[in-house]
Amino acid sequence: MRDVATASGVSPATVSFVLNGVANQTISPATRERVERAARELAYVPHGIAKALREGSSRIVLLTLDPAFGGAGSDEYIRGLDAELGRHGYTLLVRHGQTTRRSLAALVDAVSPKAVIDLAAVYTSGDPTADDGGWVNGLPAHTAVQLRHLADAGHRRLAVALPEDAALARLAGVRLQSAREAAPALGLDLVESLTVPADVPGTVAALRDLLAAQPDLTAVAAFDDGVALRVLAALAELGLRAPGDIAVIGFNDTEYGAVSAPTLTSVHIDAAAFGHLAARRALGLEADVVPATARIVRRASA
């Protein structure tokens, strides 16, 4: 910093104000430009340990990622979060797996993060009857967007297809509860649950049993695209068509839905923008990122 100050003809304090973006300082644009040019020419890099000592925390933001949140949506969220943190000189540390209060406390004590983001807690809260499907209302509102597409197509009796995987049980429970809470406002008469195994033969058996018990079902809203694709395969094994016999809609809009037969209608979420927004909130910056609301990718299955 002293080298930058000497090269630009200002004090080290002025260099600090400019490079750290300190507000309410009467520094002319010409001086700012001179300091920034000198910093570039000298390849100045802020000293992370020194900043941590001054700020009382490391320049790390910790994200706890429950196993239930693996996949395309979380990958995009992490990409946006990491990019925005990097712009402000912070590093993202992702803690994968189940996190207990004790393990989290030990990790926080070890790295002294600037902030901790619990994606599961943030995303699974919210109002399932919200209209915008936006991040503020999280998974419940995104579930309502999925169901609204089916309701608008005239479906009244449907099933929510959930994975059998025990690691996803908590998130699956939130999805089912969100669907049942959103149903009355959408004019849905019945929301059943369909537990989908990891294999197609098991899914065929589960779907056959459900349709025998509820012959009036006309649609399936799936936990994610993977579950939806197994349901489509099971329908074909049973000699049924989507959407003619049973409409099927996925969630998270993965690339596989565009190449299935029939192609899969799904819910697309602007996860990367939500990551940018989360980073700015974690750093106490103005939330000037406006993610697009959840939207339906219309294909052939629903």
pLDDT range class, residue 50, cuts 50, 70, 90: low
Whether residues 257 and 227 fall in one domain: yes
- Residue 225 tokens, joined: 């695209």
* pLDDT score recorded for residue 168: 84
134 lies in the same domain as 210 = yes
Decide the pairing of beta strands 219-222 and 157-163: parallel
pLDDT digits 0-9 by tens, 191-240: 899 999 999 999 999 999 999 999 999 999 999 999 999 999 999 999 99
Any domain includes 297: no
Q: For residues 36 and 61, state if they share a domain.
A: no
Mapping DSSP to helix (H, G, I), strand (E, B) and coil, where does residue 24 land? coil
Residue 282 shares a structural domain with residue 253: no
Tally of CB atoms within 10 A around 211: 18
Domain that holds residue 82: 53-122+273-290
Average pLDDT, integer, range 53-69: 76
Which residues have C-beta within 8 Å of that of residue 131, sequence separation ≥ 6? none
Number of domains in the chain: 3
Q: Are residues 219 and 156 both part of a single domain?
A: yes
Q: Same structural domain for residues 224 and 211?
A: yes
CATH number at 39 reads 1.10.260.40
pTM above 0.85, yes or no: no
d(CA 222, CA 200): 15
Residue 135 in this model has a pLDDT that exceeds 50: no
Same domain, 154 and 103: no
Residues 82, 157 within the same domain: no
Nearest by Cα to 8 from 43, 46, 39: 39
- Distance of alpha carbon 165 from alpha carbon 147, whole angstroms: 23
Task: For residues 5-33, give the mean pLDDT.
Answer: 84
Same domain, 84 and 149: no
Percentage of the chain beyond pLDDT 70 is 90
